[in-house]
Amino acid sequence: MEITVKQVQGRVPVTVLQTHGDLDASNYRDLITRAKEIYDGGARDILLDMSDTPLMASSGLVALHSVAMLLRGEEPPNLEEGMAAYRAAFADLDRGFEEHFKLLNPQPLVNKTLEMTGFNNILEVHTILETAIASF
């Protein structure tokens, strides 16, 4: 999976990460690492463009949750703890929408995963870039 990054100015600066390829166990840590790098560089609002990500495995949910925690100023779960990190992702499902992390154009299988797991209740999903940027 490749990850591209660009800055877009809305009401606030928004960093758009775009994933290219499946998000799965072979690369979910790459997304977390990249998000941490841009967070450490000052980014506080991230839009994840998933328009070129046809499939997301359960490890992708851990990555999404970890990025959300990072943007809340919290320490993401220890990925070496395996299932504990996965369970932690589901412990946050009653928090409401994340303020600083949103999704753009998840593909049908990714969207189905978000709906089946309830992640669509914590991550705002947009289909239009301009609307997504304005939502921050």
**For domain 2-134, is the CATH number 3.40.50.300?**
no
Query: Token pair of 94, please?
Result: 């009653």
Tell me the domain boundaries of the chain: 2-134
Q: Decide if 70 contacts 40 (C-beta within 8 A).
A: no
Provide the pLDDT for residue 80: 81
> What distance lies between CA 70 and its chain's CA centroid?
10
Give the mean pLDDT of the chain: 93
User: Residue range 36-46: average pLDDT?
Assistant: 97
More confident site: 83 or 30: 30
pTM of the entire predicted model: 0.93
pLDDT confidence of residue 91: 75
Per-residue pLDDT tens for 9-23?
A: 999 999 999 999 999
pLDDT tens per residue, range 81-120:
777 777 777 777 777 789 999 999 999 999 999 999 999 9
